Amino acid sequence: MTFTVMQAFLIGLWALFCFAGQVWGNYTNRALFISFGVGLILGDLQTAVIFGATAELAFMGFGVGPGGSTPPNPLGPGIVGTIMAISIKGLTPSAALTLSYPFAIIVPFVITFIFTINSGSMEMAKKAIMEGKYRKYQWMSNFTLYGFMLFAFVFGFAATLSTSALRVFVNAIPTWLMNGLSVAGGLLPAVGFALILSTMIKKEYIPAIILGYVCVAYLKMPVIGLAFVGAVLAFNNYFNGKKAVKNDGNNDVEDGGFEDGI
Amino acid sequence: MASRTPVLTKKDYAVSVLRSYYLQNAQNYGNMQGTGMLKTIWPQLRKIYKDDESEFRRVAVSNLEFYNTNPQPYPFVSSLMLAMYDSGQDEDDVRAVKMALMGPLAGIGDALSQFALAPLFSTIFASLALEGMTFAPLIFIACLVAITFGVRCLMGYLGWKVGTSIIDTLSDQMAAIADIATTIGLTVIAGLSVSFVKVNLALQYTTSIKGKTQVVAIQSFLDKIMPYMLPVILIYFVYWLITKKKWTVYKIILLLLVLGIALSAIGLLKP
């Protein structure tokens, strides 16, 4: 299966649109959503969405990096991974996910590069405004956005056109290594989950974690049910926890009163 | 400074909420969101200082300084600042409020949008998609865009409506909402993570029971003791690497990649 230049152009535009969402803060740059558009353009929505969901779960924790680092970006699996999943028959979603990691890792370097070359933004903007060149300021104030868009377009366009090269490369991988990549694809989502847990976890959330595990491992509960069970715990904490705090507060006041009295 | 008659209308504030999407358009390592922050309130500032060009330039340039917050609750800052500029309040006060809000709002915004909302919707709609619901990504994005847009409008309204004193009770309420969202999110994530991470032992042994030979997979053995035991151990191991060993994400990815290929090659794990 080879894709047309028109398809490559559309994928480029789609990548541009989705990646711009990272700047606007509106969540279009998520693997699940990127894959959906790629699937529509390449004409295999089913495969695309299954792969997109796999990548979404693995990359869920990569929204923020610990300590301000830029984590692997979902644009990699969203574009390249989906193209591989669609165009290479017999490639499992896990293996496609593993193979798209290098592309996910290139993206943060480009982001860092754009942020760095735009570092003089403040001085340039100040100069432009003081000289009354407001149009120049307006253009400059979109520099990062334009940089992101340009990169994403080239990324999507090039990835689509190099499908046959990707396929030759993937077909050259021996079976034992392919199995290994599939196994690794099963292990890798642990990174995303552990990362998100490390940013969210506090001791008071341990019951939520055990509850979630029990519901899935022993009760085989579907995910919407899981959300309802979580809501029960959350509202129970909210209403009954408030009561406890109030009681504590009263006790404290009384204690204080006694101490003052003494 | 003398107070002045406000010139901004509700429409101007509504436009500034929409312009909050420009906040990160010039993100960089110098002043972070500073250049974009001025862009979000540019037309409103022009309107406030339309009679005094040099005053406009001075105020505009002063807003180019370092700023870094979460874009979702940001309209609270822009509305509040515009209200203060428009009523002719002291510029130092405006700046103090702006800087004071940066940290708390970033904290609340991150908790709500990045740690609670996004993972929650991610897990729900990705698993629906895996079950064959091909339009799940559309509902996913519609939910997130609608909710965050709602947050921005609400924040813009609150910033316009109230003064600085309210931020304490506001952050209390936001904290409660964030707490509820986090509890639901963690329940879903914890449940889904164990079933999604796949660690399958390929080991098996043969026994003969009453003369019949039988192949017993060790995996099924483990599942009887505790389902998903190996994924739980693996997630905890990675969690430990992140929190205690301070490993970078890249190092961990490399480790798991090597482990996956090596353990599969020696026949310990299977896809």
DSSP letters, A205-228, are GHHHHHHHHHHHHTT---HHHHHH
Q: Are A187 and B35 an interchain contact pair (Cβ–Cβ within 8 Å)?
A: no
Which residues between 78 and 137 in chain A have a beta carbon less than 8 angstroms from any beta carbon of chain B?
92, 94, 98, 101, 105, 114-116, 118-123, 125-126, 129-130, 132
Q: If we measure between CA atoms, which residue out of A188, A2, A182 comes closest to residue A93?
A: A182
Q: Are B260 and A45 an interchain contact pair (Cβ–Cβ within 8 Å)?
A: no
Å between B13 CA and nearest CA of chain A: 19
Domains identified in chain A, total number: 2
Domain end (from B127, B162, B194): B194
Q: Is A70 on the interface with B (CB under 8 A)?
A: no
Domain end (from B194, B220, B241): B194
- What percent of chain A clears pLDDT 70, i.e. is strictly above it? 89
**Whether residue B164 has pLDDT greater than 50:** no
Q: If we measure between CA atoms, which residue out of B30, B24, B67 comes closest to residue A122?
A: B30
Q: Are B191 and A27 an interchain contact pair (Cβ–Cβ within 8 Å)?
A: no
Q: What is the pLDDT of residue A64?
A: 52
Is the same domain home to B59 and B171? Answer: yes
Alpha-carbon distance values, A87 to A79, A91, A170, A173 (Å): 12, 9, 11, 16
Which residue out of B186, B200, B263 would a mutagenesis test of the A interface target, given it has the greatest number of A Cβ atoms within 10 Å? B186
Q: Which domain holds residue A181?
A: 5-200
Q: What is the pLDDT of residue A261?
A: 39
Is the same domain home to A89 and A210? Answer: no
Interface ipTM > 0.90: no
Å between A99 CA and nearest CA of chain B: 10
In a domain, B3, yes or no: no
Å between A97 CA and nearest CA of chain B: 11
Q: Are A226 and B191 an interchain contact pair (Cβ–Cβ within 8 Å)?
A: yes
Q: Are A195 and B242 an interchain contact pair (Cβ–Cβ within 8 Å)?
A: yes
**Whether residue A238 has pLDDT greater than 90:** no
Distance, C-alpha B154 to centroid of its chain:
18
Domain end (from A160, A176, A200): A200
Q: If we measure between CA atoms, which residue out of B123, B144, B118, B141 comes closest to residue A215?
A: B123
Is the same domain home to A127 and A161? Answer: yes
pLDDT digits (tens, 9 = 90+) for B202-216: 888 777 777 777 777
In a domain, B148, yes or no: yes
Is the same domain home to A107 and A215? Answer: no
Is the same domain home to A68 and A103? Answer: yes
In a domain, B40, yes or no: yes
**Residues B26 and A143 sit within 8 Å (Cβ to Cβ):** yes
**Whether residue B123 has pLDDT greater than 60:** yes
Is the same domain home to A148 and A206? Answer: no
Which of B187, B236, B242 lies closest to A66 in CB terms? B242
pLDDT digits (tens, 9 = 90+) for A96-131: 999 998 898 888 888 888 988 888 888 899 999 999
For residue B29, which residues of chain A lie inside 8 Å, CB to CB?
115-116, 118-119
Is the same domain home to B88 and B120? Answer: yes
Is the same domain home to B167 and B69? Answer: yes
Q: What is the pLDDT of residue B1?
A: 44
Is the same domain home to A205 and A124? Answer: no
Which residue out of A105, A193, A198, A235 would a mutagenesis test of the B interface target, given it has the greatest number of B Cβ atoms within 10 Å? A193
Q: What is the pLDDT of residue B68?
A: 85
Is the same domain home to A60 and A114? Answer: yes
Is the same domain home to A120 and A225? Answer: no
Is the same domain home to B82 and B178? Answer: yes
Q: Which domain holds residue B173?
A: 10-194
Contacts for A145 with CB less than 8 Å, ≥ 6 apart: A20, A23, B24, B25, B26
In a domain, B5, yes or no: no
Alpha-carbon distance values, A167 to A43, A81, A90, A95, B45 (Å): 18, 12, 12, 13, 55
Domain end (from B194, B225, B241): B194
Q: What is the pLDDT of residue B179?
A: 80
pTM of the full structure = 0.80
